[in-house]
C-alpha cells in the first residue's frame, strides 16, 4: 500500500543491503534501487523476494522489532582487556528509531501468533517462554531455509537465528525448527532469563 520509495527506505532502515559488523569478508546482501524494480518486483519485494539478507541483518531487523522499533547496531566485541588489566570499551552502538513503537508491537503480536498457531508451533515451543517466529528463503532448485525469533515476547532479551544451507531431507522451515527450539531453550537457561509472566491472548479472526 506504500510507494516503492517508501518501501525501499524502510528496507534500508532495517539494514537490508548493508554490512552490519564490518567483519572481514562480510557481504552486504542485495537491495536493488527502485529504478530497477519492474511490475513483478514491485510486488515480490513485499514478501521477501528481489532482495537478499544475511543472518546478521536478519538478527538486527528482529532486534529492532523486539526493542520497540529502535534499531541498535550489532557489535561483536564488548571490550578489550590488556595484559596489565586495562579495559578498553568499544564505541557505543548507534541507536535509531526506525518504526513507531506501536508498529513494532503490532509486528511482535503477528510474529508470536505464528509461533503459537503456525505449522511449527509444537516444534519451536520453549516451555515457560513466549516466542516469536519468522521463516523463509528459497530459490529454484536450491533450498536455503532459516528461522528467526526472539524471547520472551513479553520482555525481549535475545534473538536467535538458525540457517541451513541446502538441506536435503526436509526443505521447508520445519528443517530448522528443532535446532531453533534447542538453541532458544539453551539461551534462556544459560542467561537465566525469567519465564514469561503472562500468556499470549490469541489473535481471533474478524468478520463483517
Asked whether the predicted pLDDT for residue 73 surpasses 90, the reply is yes
- Top mean-pLDDT range of 23-27, 106-110, 137-141: 106-110
CB 78, CB 69: distance < 8 Å? no
**Mean pLDDT of all residues in the chain?**
90
Reported as a pLDDT band with limits 50, 70 and 90, residue 204 is: low
What is the model's pLDDT at position 177? 92
Cell of 22: 564490518
What is the model's pLDDT at position 188? 96
Q: What is the pLDDT of residues 140-170, one digit of tens each?
A: 677 788 999 999 999 999 999 999 888 888 8
Q: Which secondary structure element, helix H or strand E, spans residue 135, and what is its range?
A: strand 134-139
CB 93, CB 77: distance < 8 Å? no
Residue bearing cell 523476494: 49
Nearest to 16, CA basis, from 42, 49, 39: 49
DSSP for 163-204, please give it: EEES-SS--STHHHHHHHHHHHHHHHHHTTPPPPSSPPPPP-
* Cα dihedral 30/162/175/62 (nearest 10): -70
φ, ψ of residue 38 to 5 degrees: the values are -110, -170
Asked whether the predicted pLDDT for residue 50 surpasses 70, the reply is yes
Query: Is the bond preceding residue 70 a cis peptide, omega within 30 degrees?
Result: no
Q: Where are the domains of the chain?
A: 1-99, 101-193
Cell of 100: 513507531
Query: Structure pTM?
Result: 0.88
Nearest to 122, CA basis, from 178, 170, 161: 178
Q: What is the pLDDT of residues 183-200, one digit of tens each?
A: 999 999 999 999 988 877
CA dist., res. 145 & res. 175, Å (int): 7
Cell of 58: 536478519
- 10 Å CB burial of residue 84 (0-12, 13-18, 19+) is exposed
CA dist., res. 2 & res. 103, Å (int): 15
Reported as a pLDDT band with limits 50, 70 and 90, residue 201 is: confident
Q: Which secondary structure element, helix H or strand E, spans residue 79, and what is its range?
A: strand 79-81
Asked whether the predicted pLDDT for residue 122 surpasses 60, the reply is yes
Q: Which CATH architecture group holds 1-99?
A: 3-Layer(aba) Sandwich (3.40)
What is the model's pLDDT at position 140? 63
Residue bearing cell 508451533: 121
**Top-tier CATH class for 101-193:** alpha beta
Amino acid at each position: 500500500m506504500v510507494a516503492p520509495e517508501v518501501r525501499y527506505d524502510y528496507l534500508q532502515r532495517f539494514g537490508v543491503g548493508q554490512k552490519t559488523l564490518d567483519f572481514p569478508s562480510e557481504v552486504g546482501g542485495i537491495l536493488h534501487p527502485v529504478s530497477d524494480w519492474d511490475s513483478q518486483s514491485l510486488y515480490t519485494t513485499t514478501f521477501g523476494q528481489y532482495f537478499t539478507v544475511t543472518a546478521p541483518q536478519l538478527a538486527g531487523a528482529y532486534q529492532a522489532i523486539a526493542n520497540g522499533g529502535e534499531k541498535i547496531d550489532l557489535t561483536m566485541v564488548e571490550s578489550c582487556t590488556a595484559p596489565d588489566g586495562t579495559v578498553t570499551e568499544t564505541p557505543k552502538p548507534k541507536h535509531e528509531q526506525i518504526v513507531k513503537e506501536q508498529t513494532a508491537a503490532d509486528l511482535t503480536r503477528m510474529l508470536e501468533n505464528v509461533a503459537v498457531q503456525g505449522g511449527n508451533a509444537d516444534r519451536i515451543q520453549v516451555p515457560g517462554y513466549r516466542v516469536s517466529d519468522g521463516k523463509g528463503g528459497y530459490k529454484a532448485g536450491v533450498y536455503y531455509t532459516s528461522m528467526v525469533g526472539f524471547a520472551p515476547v513479553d520482555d525481549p532479551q535475545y534473538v536467535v537465528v538458525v540457517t541451513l544451507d541446502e538441506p536435503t531431507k526436509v526443505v521447508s522451515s520445519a528443517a530448522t525448527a528443532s535446532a531453533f527450539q534447542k538453541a532458544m531453550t539453551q539461551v534462556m537457561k544459560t542467561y537465566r532469563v525469567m519465564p514469561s509472566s503472562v500468556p499470549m491472548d490469541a489473535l481471533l479472526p474478524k468478520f463483517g
